[in-house]
């Protein structure tokens, strides 16, 4: 798949099947994460945690459960995905460049998942709830001093990815 196709297909998946992602596809996604640009090559303070164990995924899902503002119903913030990759960092700098590093890592994860025909979702809002759940956080085995900054879920989308027209949606000033 060429890069323009990947960009046209890349979208947030909000419903996944229960099919497991293969270890070889997960390895390709982790390799893509490794190629992300990090400020000053700062790979010593960035950490990835891949969770694919169904029981732990269910605990994470329960810890991240949100309530709909519209209906009051519980929402699975992981959308039924079968794998999640957390991006963590330590020694957060004064300028918080680690958040930019995390965005680059997550984008590579999302693009590689799309290239493999998988769905993906950038996970952010529910992580505050997860960080407060000491029992689940302990099971994630983060290195000492690291904190989760963001995450991405990947899996097989319930509906096939469909290309969208690429257009300028963001205002651009050209000088």
The tens place of each residue's pLDDT in the chain, 175 residues long, gives: 899 999 999 999 999 999 999 999 999 999 999 999 998 777 889 999 999 999 999 999 999 999 988 999 999 999 999 999 999 999 888 999 999 999 999 999 999 999 999 999 999 989 999 999 999 999 999 999 999 999 999 999 999 999 998 888 899 999 9
C-alpha 31/C-alpha 42 separation (Å) is 17
CB 13 within 8 A of CB 121: yes
C-alpha 48/C-alpha 88 separation (Å) is 6
C-alpha 128/C-alpha 29 separation (Å) is 25
C-alpha 125/C-alpha 148 separation (Å) is 12
Residue 76, C-beta contacts closer than 8 angstroms, at least 6 positions apart: 61, 65
Tell whether 66 is covered by a domain.
yes
C-alpha 56/C-alpha 50 separation (Å) is 11
Tell whether 141 is covered by a domain.
yes
Parent domain of 31: 3-155
Tell whether 96 is covered by a domain.
yes
- Read off the CATH number of the domain in which 133 is found: 3.40.109.10
C-alpha 110/C-alpha 152 separation (Å) is 7
C-alpha 118/C-alpha 75 separation (Å) is 22
Q: Domain tally for the chain?
A: 1
Tell whether 173 is covered by a domain.
no
Its pTM stands at 0.94
Tell whether 133 is covered by a domain.
yes
């Amino acid at each position: 798949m060429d890069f323009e196709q990947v960009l046209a297909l890349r979208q947030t998946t909000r419903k996944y099947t229960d099919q497991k992602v293969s270890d070889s596809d997960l390895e390709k996604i982790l390799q893509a994460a490794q190629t992300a640009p990090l400020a000053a090559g700062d790979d010593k303070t960035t950490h990835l945690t891949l969770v694919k164990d169904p029981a732990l995924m269910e605990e994470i899902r329960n810890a991240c459960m949100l309530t709909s503002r519209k209906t009051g119903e519980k929402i699975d913030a992981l959308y039924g995905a079968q794998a999640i990759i957390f991006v963590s960092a330590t020694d957060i700098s004064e300028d918080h460049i680690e958040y930019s590093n995390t965005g680059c890592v997550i984008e590579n994860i999302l693009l590689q998942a799309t290239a493999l025909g998988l769905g993906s979702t950038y996970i952010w809002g529910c992580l505050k709830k997860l960080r407060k759940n000491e029992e689940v956080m302990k099971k994630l085995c983060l290195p000492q001093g690291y904190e989760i900054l963001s995450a991405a879920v990947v899996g097989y989308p319930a509906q096939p990815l469909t290309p969208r027209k690429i257009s300028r949606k963001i205002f651009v000033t050209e000088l």
